[in-house]
């Protein structure tokens, strides 16, 4: 089983602050890196899927970067809003034997109004 | 509307009583999988299917069975549930394997007493 680690486990930020989290993953046999947003009592929803080293993706106030050589990805949220409160999951897709996606344990974000 | 539908959403059952959790997707996706979510652990893959009649074990397959007789359906079967299978279960589907986003069902919270 591949190790995908996310940090921090949880954080609280004030409304309007910008924040970022880290996802680290094994760089061997790398195929793709996924970010999902998971609100309480709902199902995870995809934010980004990135495959290329140096890739940067943006959706509104949320953006992500990818470094496949060193095995990490950052997720940034600019000007956090209470509706950004959720758990953010990253998942690494690797191709070793068979292609599979391994999830991290998530970063739980609470935005305080 | 594109969606993955799981049923039931909540289930309390007794040890040893066979149960099936259904999963259906309307996006004509080839790849489907089942995950379980436990506190402090990331989503862990139970089984996956690459297409009709093609299924394989994920990371935690013990005590579970699946079938893929039609492209849209991927039921999860617990032949003899035990308390350690108490968990939150998600079904997911995607167009491809690791490099495309997954769409998740609403989740099934299972309690085995």
Hey, of A37, A100, A104, A107, which one would you mutate to test binding to chain B, going by the most B CBs within 10 A of its CB? Answer: A100
Is A44 in contact with B45 (Cβ distance < 8 A)? Answer: no
What is the total residue count of chain A?
Answer: 113
pLDDT of residue A2: 62
Which residue's entry shows tokens 């199902």? A43
**Which residue in A32, A100, A105 is closest to B40 by CB distance?**
A105
B100/B92 Cα distance (integer angstroms): 12
Confidence of residue A7 (pLDDT cuts 50, 70, 90): very high
Contacts of B23 in chain A (CB under 8 A): none
pLDDT of residue A97: 54
Task: Please name which of B66, B78, B43, B89 lies closest in space to residue A1, comparing C-alpha atoms.
Answer: B43
Query: Buried b / exposed e across A44-56, counting CB within 10 Å, b at 16+?
Result: bebbbbbeeeebe
Distances (CA, A) of B38 to B4, B31, B46, B91, B101: 21, 23, 13, 15, 22
Q: What is the mean pLDDT of residues A53-73?
A: 96
Share of chain A above pLDDT 70, in %: 95
Q: Which two tokens stand for residue B58?
A: 């994920």
**Which residue in A4, A46, A51 is closest to B102 by CB distance?**
A46
pLDDT of residue A100: 74
Which of A26-30, A38-42, A58-62, B106-110 is the least confident region? A26-30
Neighbours of B34 (CB within 10 A): 28
Is B98 in contact with A32 (Cβ distance < 8 A)? Answer: yes
Confidence of residue A99 (pLDDT cuts 50, 70, 90): low
Residues of chain B with pLDDT under 70: none
Residue B23: partners with Cβ closer than 8 Å, 6 or more residues away: B4, B5, B6, B32, B34, B73, B74, B75, B76, B91, B105
Task: Please name which of A74, A81, A42, A69 lies closest in space to residue A58, comparing C-alpha atoms.
Answer: A74
pLDDT of residue A98: 60
Distances (CA, A) of B9 to B27, B61, B98: 21, 21, 27
């Amino acid at each position: 089983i591949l190790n995908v680690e996310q940090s921090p486990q949880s954080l609280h930020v004030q409304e309007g602050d910008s924040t970022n989290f880290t996802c680290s993953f094994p760089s061997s046999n790398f195929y793709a890196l996924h970010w999902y947003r998971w609100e309480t009592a709902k199902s995870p929803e995809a934010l980004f899927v990135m495959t290329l080293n140096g890739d940067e993706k943006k959706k509104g106030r949320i953006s992500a970067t990818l470094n496949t050589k060193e095995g990490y990805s950052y997720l940034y949220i600019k000007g956090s809003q209470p509706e950004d409160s959720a758990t953010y999951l990253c998942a690494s897709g690797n191709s070793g034997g068979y292609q599979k996606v391994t999830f991290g344990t998530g970063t739980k974000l609470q935005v305080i109004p | 509307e594109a969606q993955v539908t799981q049923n039931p959403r909540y289930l309390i059952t007794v040890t040893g009583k066979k149960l099936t959790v259904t999963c259906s997707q309307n996006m004509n996706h080839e790849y489907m999988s089942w995950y379980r979510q436990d506190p402090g652990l990331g989503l862990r893959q139970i089984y996956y299917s690459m297409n009709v009649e093609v299924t394989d074990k994920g990371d935690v397959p013990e005590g579970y069975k699946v079938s893929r007789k039609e492209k849209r359906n991927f039921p999860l079967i617990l032949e003899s549930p035990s308390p350690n299978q108490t968990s939150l279960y998600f079904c997911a589907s995607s167009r491809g394997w690791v490099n495309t986003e997954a769409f998740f069902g609403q989740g099934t919270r299972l309690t085995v007493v």
